[in-house]
């Protein structure tokens, strides 16, 4: 499954409400660390077809970022049926791969 680029708050809310595990990367184009995490997520998306991966532009969707208290990018939040079940602040590839 490919990574879904989130473009609106409504789309985001629908995606995280899925019963499937959703891995949401809060990112910014200018942050090199986000590109590293995105590359890892792209590979994970190929391996874990039952997991939904989404890329959320933290600055463009600031309402969503504020709701989840995103202070820095990259931040990854794991959702199950709309509820946050885990969170990774910063680059922690080992934790990302373990939680999928």
Q: What's the pLDDT tens digit per position in 13-51?
A: 999 999 999 999 999 999 999 999 999 999 999 999 999
The structural domains of the chain, ordered by start, are: 4-86 (3.40.30.10)
Calculate the average pLDDT of the chain: 94
The owner of tokens 């997991």 is: 51
Both tokens assigned to 34: 């986000």
> Residue 56 has what pLDDT?
98
Instruction: Determine how β-strand 21-27 pairs with β-strand 75-80.
Output: antiparallel
- Give the rounded percent of residues in the chain with a pLDDT score beyond 90: 87
Closest CA to 41 of 14, 58, 23, 28: 23
> Residue 36 has what pLDDT?
94
User: Is the pLDDT at 1 greater than 90, yes or no?
Assistant: no
For the beta sheet containing 21-27, the strands, ordered from the edge strand earlier in sequence to the opposite edge, are 4-5, 52-57, 21-27, 75-80, 83-89
> Residue 69 has what pLDDT?
96
Q: Tens digit of pLDDT for each residue in 60-70?
A: 999 999 999 99
User: Is the pLDDT at 98 greater than 90, yes or no?
Assistant: no
């Amino acid at each position: 499954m490919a990574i879904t680029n989130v473009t609106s708050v409504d789309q985001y809310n629908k995606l995280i409400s899925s019963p499937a595990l959703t891995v949401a990367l809060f990112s910014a184009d200018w942050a090199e660390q986000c590109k590293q995490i995105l590359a890892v997520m792209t590979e994970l998306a190929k391996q874990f077809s039952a997991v939904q991966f989404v890329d959320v532009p933290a600055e463009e969707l600031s309402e969503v970022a504020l709701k989840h208290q995103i202070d820095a990018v990259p931040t990854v939040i794991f959702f199950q049926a709309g509820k946050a079940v885990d969170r990774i602040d910063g680059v922690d590839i080992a934790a990302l791969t373990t939680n999928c």
